[in-house]
């Protein structure tokens, strides 16, 4: 059996509510729903059951103190000048980068290839395609917006189930972080 996995932080309800409140104003954007809002630390992709089990066990070895995550501002990712993703930004955090690097090392330790893309901390708000409306008014309206902060006291391994109406994310294993410094 194949499992489609990723490792992520999940914002608490008040932060997710704040994100959802801004998610409008771009025609034919595929907005994320509450269950899809997360900050990806590492996309794993499709792996077999043995690799999934090895990864789930190895992630438990990560020790990092809890830390504060702050979401503010919005932006977009483009491919060849064409917008494809609207996102909420994450304030730079050395603690978040430390956790992400440890997750990456664990992934490689169980035989996964190194992530080729540079880590860009964000929470995806919407997926776009060629039929999606202009994004400039959304970006202008949400520029500098603060969505809130929370104490990240754990992360999780998720499985993604693809569906026509959008992916369903299921938490497989949660991992606590240590006491805050």
Whichever domain contains 62, its CATH number is: 3.90.1140.10
The structure tokens listed for 99 are 């956790």
Residue 142 lies in a domain: yes
The structure tokens listed for 103 are 């997750």
Residue 132 lies in a domain: yes
pLDDT of 115 > 90? The answer is yes
Residue 181 lies in a domain: no
pLDDT band at 166 (very low <50, low <70, confident <90, very high): confident
Residue 60 lies in a domain: yes
Residue 61 lies in a domain: yes
Q: Which of 3-7, 109-113, 164-168 has the lowest mean pLDDT?
A: 164-168
Q: Give the pLDDT score at 126.
A: 97
Share of the chain above pLDDT 70, in %: 100
Residue 138 lies in a domain: yes
Which residue, 96, 91, 90, is CA-closest to 122?
90
Identify whether the C-beta of residue 65 lies closer than 8 Å to the C-beta of residue 181.
yes
Q: Give the pLDDT score at 56.
A: 98
pLDDT of 6 > 80? The answer is yes
Residue 120 lies in a domain: yes
pLDDT band at 165 (very low <50, low <70, confident <90, very high): confident
Number of structural domains found in the chain: 1
Q: Give the pLDDT score at 181.
A: 72
Residue 18 lies in a domain: yes
Torsion angle defined by CA atoms of residues 119, 144, 71 and 158, in that order, rounded to the nearest 10 degrees: -60
Domain limits at 134? 2-176
The whole-model pTM stands at: 0.94
- Looking at residues 21-25, what average pLDDT do you find? 96
pLDDT band at 107 (very low <50, low <70, confident <90, very high): very high
């Amino acid at each position: 059996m194949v499992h489609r996995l990723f490792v992520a932080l999940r914002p608490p309800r008040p932060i997710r509510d704040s994100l959802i409140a801004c998610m409008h104003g771009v025609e034919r954007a595929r907005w994320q729903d509450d269950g899809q809002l997360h900050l990806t630390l590492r996309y794993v992709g499709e792996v077999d059951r043995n690799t999934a089990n090895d990864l789930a066990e190895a992630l438990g070895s990560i020790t990092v103190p809890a830390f504060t995550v702050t979401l503010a501002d919005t932006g977009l990712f483009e491919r060849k000048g064409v917008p494809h993703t609207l996102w909420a930004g994450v304030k730079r955090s050395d603690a978040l980068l430390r956790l992400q690097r440890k997750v990456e090392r664990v992934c490689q330790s169980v035989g996964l290839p190194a992530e080729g893309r540079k880590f860009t901390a964000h929470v995806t708000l919407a997926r776009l395609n060629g039929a999606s409306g202009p994004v400039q008014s959304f970006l202008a309206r949400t520029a500098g917006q603060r969505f809130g902060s929370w104490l990240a006291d754990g992360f999780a391994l998720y499985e993604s189930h693809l569906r026509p109406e959008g992916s369903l994310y299921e938490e497989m294993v949660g991992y606590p972080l240590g006491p805050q410094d």
